[in-house]
Structure 1
Amino acid sequence: MGRPKPMSMEDLLKDLQGQKNMQEDPNNISLDKLFNESFMRKYSSSNSFAAFLEKGNFQATTQAEIKNLHEELLDRHVARETKFNSWKSMLDTANSEYNN
């Protein structure tokens, strides 16, 4: 038997914080994974999704919290700060790129 693969520091921190699920639910991908740094640099003026939300004075860390945001305000922020016309088109593109 081989030795187990060492955990990355990020995974270890998530594990210690109790935020890592045993199995990732494809319908509930973390926003940081979905809107990773590469995606945000490609399509927006922000380096991270957290910075993008902060710039619009939005507070959300989960997809459920995003759904509770005022959609029209979020759409306007997306149109102003990204290459997308709406939150839905941004989310659809992120899901598509994540799954490919």
Structure 2
Amino acid sequence: MDDNKQSDLDNLAESLEENSKKSKQALSMVSFTDLFTPAFMSAYTQFANFGELLVVGKFQVNSFQEFMALLDKDFDKFIAKTTKFKSWEEMQSTAVADYIKKKESGN
């Protein structure tokens, strides 16, 4: 392989890595309200917003730590019962994918 081709591959790899880092960084700063918009919630759940989901499920959440503590089989069962998802992980993944699609399309 000549140097030009190698350098093009190096540039492509660097570009992909930079974009990956930017995507991860952007996602780490996304709020629940940006992920679980009223449109998302009405399309996939029986709730108007994420707060309503927590209230109806009788999940007491006043901090991130409390939210992380409630992520268990009972929460997954509630998500499966009241949404179009089988688990919290599936709901979260779909919300992230929808968010990325909207960002890429400029909305």
Q: Which moved more, 1:24-33 or 1:65-74?
A: 24-33
Q: In the alignment, which residue of structure 1 is the partner of 2:34?
A: 33
* TM-score, length of structure 2 as denominator length: 0.63
Sort the Cα spacing of 1:64 and 1:39 in 2 relative to 1 into closer, same or farther, 3 A.
farther
Q: CA deviation at 1:80?
A: 0.8
1:31·1:61 contact (CA, 8 Å) conserved in 2?
no
Gaps of 5+ in 2: 1-24, 102-107
Q: Which moved more, 1:53-62 or 1:29-38?
A: 53-62
Sort the Cα spacing of 1:97 and 1:54 in 2 relative to 1 into closer, same or farther, 3 A.
same
Q: In the alignment, which residue of structure 2 is the partner of 1:49?
A: 50
Q: In the alignment, which residue of structure 2 is the partner of 1:68?
A: 69
Larger Rg computed on CA atoms: 2
Structure with the higher helix share, 1 or 2:
2
1:75·1:85 contact (CA, 8 Å) conserved in 2?
yes
Q: In the alignment, which residue of structure 2 is the partner of 1:86?
A: 87
Q: CA deviation at 1:34?
A: 0.8
C-alpha distance in 1 between matches for 2:40 and 2:65: 21
Give the root-mean-square deviation of aligned CA atoms. Answer: 2.1
* Structure 1 moving runs of 4+ over 6 Å: none
Identity %: 31
